[in-house]
Amino acid sequence: MYLAKVYVTPRPTVNDPQGLTIKGGLEMLGFENVKSVRFGKYLEIRIDHRDRAQAEQQVREMCRQLLANPVIEDFRFDLEEIEP
């Protein structure tokens, strides 16, 4: 069994309205040292696989097909073996 921790972030050149909104909210609360906020998704996916390479391949496919929009988002992930 593997646990994939997937991070999906807006590409550096892409506008990030959610991040900007949160930055504005933090400033209104008095956090004036905040220089930038980028807002992304974080997923924890448990996969029943014995083989690490296959699990990795599968998570990459999941990101490409469903979890990330490759036009505006980047993804990366870590894979760790866990007890079933």
Residue 10 or 71 having the CB closest to a copy of itself: 10
CB of 13 to a copy of itself, least distance (A): 15
Residue 71 beta carbon to a copy of itself: minimum distance, rounded to whole angstroms: 19
Q: How many CB atoms lie within 10 A of CB 68?
A: 20
CA-based nearest residue to 71, from 6, 24, 11, 17: 11
The answer to whether 46 touches 7, Cβ cutoff 8 Å, is no
Q: Where on the chain is the footprint of a copy of itself (CB under 8 A)?
A: 1, 7-9, 19, 22, 25-26, 29, 31, 33-49, 58, 61-62, 65-67
State which amino acid sits at residue 36.
S
**Closer by beta carbon to a copy of itself, 32 or else 71:** 32
